[in-house]
Amino acid sequence: METKIAAQMFTVREHTKSAKDLAATLRKLSDIGYTAVQMSAVGAMNGDSPEVDAATARKMLDDNGLTCIATHRPWPALKDDTAREIEFHQTLGCDFTAIGRVPSGESETHEHYRNFIAEAKPVIAKLKEAGIRFGHHNHSHEFFRPKAGGPTLEDVLIDEGGDDLYLELDLYWIEHAGLNCTRILERCHGRVPVIHIKDKEVIEGKNETRMAPIGEGNLDWDGIIPACEAAGVRWYAVEQDQCYRDPFDCLKSSYTFLRSKGL
């Protein structure tokens, strides 16, 4: 059965700083069973003259039976050099890109987020014409309420962003912000082709939590996965920002658990 599970390369960012390391990392992910990755925080591809360009990365992916299903790209590059970004994604064979946060403003306000939506519309239109979707990846700060009891910043993106502004929801950060991610998913039907997932566990003997491989923490996956399916999620990108043991072992544990759930 075709899987819906991807590895977010940010999880193994310390193992992608050279072409040799990137090739070895992609092989390890393929050996685990992953058939797709999100190319983000890949050190060997960073900078003006990267050791690994898009064409070389595509060959590495192809050699390992992997598909690039998403990227994270700098907003200035997407906005000011859109044609080059389109070429980059078409070379990779990738039809989805996202930014990690709304560009910083003088303050975190609803108006700042509305201004970003307006600024992004012509960029989104150019990307769409080239067959590339654009999304925003949340952390927890987007769920700040500028006015007590009022809407969050993320509410502006959800309610006013329009159908072409996709939402690369990170379910961990939604729960971390104190919200129920299944209810957020219900509001984003058809706009969540790619999501980020990790688990949250309580550290033994402490009143503290940490990121964990999926299935090793306390998030309600039996409720979350059906909500994702109902919302139209195509790819579940495993992104464990912090790993307290070998990140490849964490990715393997998450993959095994998700496969046991039918993904």
Average pLDDT over the chain, rounded to whole?
A: 97
Distance from chain centroid for Cα 56: 22
The domain of 15 spans 5-260
Q: List, for residues 169-227, the tens digit of each pLDDT value.
A: 999 999 999 999 999 999 999 999 999 999 999 999 999 999 999 999 999 999 999 99
133-163 pLDDT, tens per residue? 999 999 999 999 999 999 999 999 999 999 9
Task: Report, as an integer, the average pLDDT of 59-63.
Answer: 98
Tell me the C-alpha distance between 136 and 78, whole Å.
13
d(Cα 17, Cα 42) in Å, to the nearest integer? Answer: 7
Q: Are 217 and 199 in contact (CB under 8 A)?
A: yes
Percent of the chain with pLDDT over 90: 97
| Residue range 240-256, pLDDT digits in tens | 999 999 999 999 999 99
What is the average per-residue pLDDT within 22-37? 98
Strand, helix or coil for residue 239? coil
Domains held by the chain: number: 1
Which pLDDT does position 106 carry in this prediction? 65
The answer to whether the beta carbons of residues 224 and 181 sit under 8 Å apart is yes
CATH number at residue 107: 3.20.20.150
State the amino acid at position 38 in one-letter form: Q
Confidence band of 2 (pLDDT split at 50, 70, 90): confident
